[in-house]
Amino acid sequence: SENHPLWTEIDRVTLEQLHYAKLGVGEGGWDIFAEEGEMRMYKREQEIDGRVVDPLKAVHTVKGVTGHEMCHYFFNPDVRMEWETTLEQMTILESVSEDTLVFLQIHKRVWPAAQRDALFWSHIRSVPDARDSDGPRTWIVCNHSTDHDKAPECKNGKYIRVDLTVCMVCQTIVEPPKNGAEVTRDNLTCKVTYCSEINPGGWAPAAALRAVYKREYPKFLKKFTHYVYEQCKNKPILF
Ligand SMILES: O=S(=O)(CCO)c1ccc(-c2ccc(C3CCCC3)c([C@@H]3C[C@@H]3c3ccccn3)c2)cc1
């Protein structure tokens, strides 16, 4: 897919998001707004043209799965409706390559805002790291809004199109078992960083939208990570 017209942007945005995900939440005005077990969610209150576009950064630690497994399930369209409860419809408009798809998603209406859709490319890749003696430990999925000639023009379409950039960055930590025993899921920990910037694309009441964000993001990340744990627990480890 290196010669696809989107490739330059996919490569640039994915690497930018990888860097952004690695930045801590110590500086830069992040407010914690949810904390449940190992999951911590931060946001920055930001409005563009009077619209709430609060950037979100979530960190989570999940035992018993690898970063590859977490990103595989986040990327995989076949299982999305299993964990994404706010979707009404999901269509793949283009399969750019094995690791890059273009989605059109229609999200359930969030009262009192008008219903939204999202048109974005989704790219998955492992992040090579010289220190990883036995294979890459970090994986990323990046979702970024794009135009596509197979998508309805949002003008005469029923839905307001959101503008989004999302990344799911997952790092595997293997705690080597005693006396050279085989690695089991008990030795695995996955460090998850999820970042999202969503411009609602049209008017939406700030207070209502912030209430939706506060409710939906923790629910989404808990449900998704639990789903992956359940899917993987009785399967061979995918490093
Ligand atoms: O991580 S993903 O790429 C996973 C693939 O689906 C992704 C996650 C979330 C969205 C999303 C799209 C629209 C809206 C709103 C904006 C105005 C009215 C609808 C929201 C609001 C933030 C709240 C929300 C948060 C989490 C889950 C669902 N809802 C979120 C899109 C993609």
Of 36, 25, 37, 56, residue with least CA distance to 209: 56
Of 165, 179, 173, residue with least CA distance to 191: 173
The rounded mean pLDDT for the chain is 94
Report the predicted TM-score, pTM, of the whole model to 2 decimal places.
Answer: 0.96
Judge whether 148 and 19 are in contact, CB under 8 Å. no
pLDDT digits (tens, 9 = 90+) for 18-33: 999 999 898 778 999 9
ipTM of the complex: 0.97
C-alpha span between 68 and 171 (Å, rounded) = 8
Give the Å distance between the CA of 148 and the centre of ligand 1. 20
Give the Å distance between the CA of 4 and the centre of ligand 1. 27
Q: DSSP letter string over 175-222?
A: -PPGGGPPP-GGGEEEEEEEEEEEE-SS---HHHHHHHHHHHHHHHHH
Token duo for residue 156: 């005469």
pLDDT at 154 over 80: no
Task: Return the residue whose CA atom lies nearest to atom 2 of ligand 1.
Answer: 166
Task: Return the residue whose CA atom lies nearest to atom 7 of ligand 1.
Answer: 166
Residue ranges lining ligand 1, Cβ < 6 Å = 84, 86, 105, 107, 110, 113, 116, 118, 143, 162, 164, 166, 196, 198, 200, 204, 212-213, 216-217, 220
Token duo for residue 2: 């290196």
- Of ligand 1's listed atoms, the one at least distance from the Cα of 87 is 6
79 secondary structure, DSSP code: G
Give the Å distance between the CA of 45 and the centre of ligand 1. 17
So what's the pLDDT on residue 75? 98
**Mind spelling out the 3-state secondary structure of 4-55?**
CCCHHHHHHHHHHHHHHHHCCCCCCCCEEEEEECCEEEEECCCEECCEECCC
How many other CB atoms are there within 10 angstroms of residue 173's CB atom?
14
Task: Return the residue whose CA atom lies nearest to atom 1 of ligand 1.
Answer: 166
So what's the pLDDT on residue 156? 63
So what's the pLDDT on residue 66? 98
For ligand 1, pick from 90, 121, 212 the residue to mutate: most ligand atoms within 8 Å of CB.
Answer: 212
Q: Alpha-carbon Rg of the chain, whole angstroms?
A: 18
Judge whether 187 and 178 are in contact, CB under 8 Å. no
So what's the pLDDT on residue 220? 97
Identify the residue whose tokens are 């029923």. Answer: 158
- Terminal Cα distance for the chain, rounded: 24
Give the Å distance between the CA of 156 and the centre of ligand 1. 22
Give the Å distance between the CA of 42 and the centre of ligand 1. 16
pLDDT at 227 over 80: yes
